[in-house]
């Protein structure tokens, strides 16, 4: 549920950036993007083993904001927020496909297990029928 909410928020933010042109202003400077991605990945790696999702998200946002403002003090908080959302949108772009693929794999695995059970039951019934018939 939280993942779906985050995905919706990211898509909403992306559409706002495109309409307002804010994304193009920030993304013009490749240095901001490069450093922001490095910081994003560093923070993401540090929080992989957190247990509380809300805490994890809040802490990541706070750490990202602090690190970007420390590296680029000329940016406003709004610029940092827009940069973070742009990076998150780019990074999370392929995650929905991976999640969908994992759900499909899970369904196929369950169906395969069910088919194996059915096959064993049918083989058992076939053996019962064979044993009941006289050998010619």
Q: For residue range 71-81, what is the model confidence (pLDDT) as tens digits? A: 888 888 888 88
- pTM of this prediction? 0.42
Cα separation, 84 vs 71, whole angstroms: 14
The tens digit of pLDDT for each residue in 31-83 reads 787 888 888 888 777 776 555 666 566 677 888 888 888 888 888 888 888 88
Pull the structure tokens for residue 73: 């003090």
Residue 135 has pLDDT above 60, yes or no: yes
Pull the structure tokens for residue 1: 């549920």
Biggest CA-to-CA distance, the chain: 93
Cα separation, 18 vs 26, whole angstroms: 12
Pull the structure tokens for residue 127: 């053996």
pLDDT value at residue 12: 67
User: First-to-last CA distance in the chain?
Assistant: 63
At 26, is the pLDDT very low, low, confident or very high (cuts 50, 70, 90)?
low
């Amino acid at each position: 549920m939280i993942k779906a909410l985050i995905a919706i928020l990211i898509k909403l933010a992306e559409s706002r950036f495109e309409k307002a042109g804010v994304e193009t202003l920030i993304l013009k400077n490749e240095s901001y993007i490069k450093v922001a991605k490095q910081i994003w990945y560093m923070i993401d790696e540090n929080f992989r083993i957190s247990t509380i999702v809300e805490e994890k998200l809040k802490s990541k946002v706070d750490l990202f904001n602090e690190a970007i403002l420390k590296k680029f003090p000329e940016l406003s908080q709004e610029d940092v927020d827009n940069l973070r959302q742009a990076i998150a949108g780019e990074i999370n772009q392929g995650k929905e496909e991976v999640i969908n693929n994992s759900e499909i794999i899970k369904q196929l695995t369950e169906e395969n297990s069910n088919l194996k059970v059915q096959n064993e039951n049918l083989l058992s019934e076939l053996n019962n029928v064979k044993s009941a018939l006289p050998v010619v």
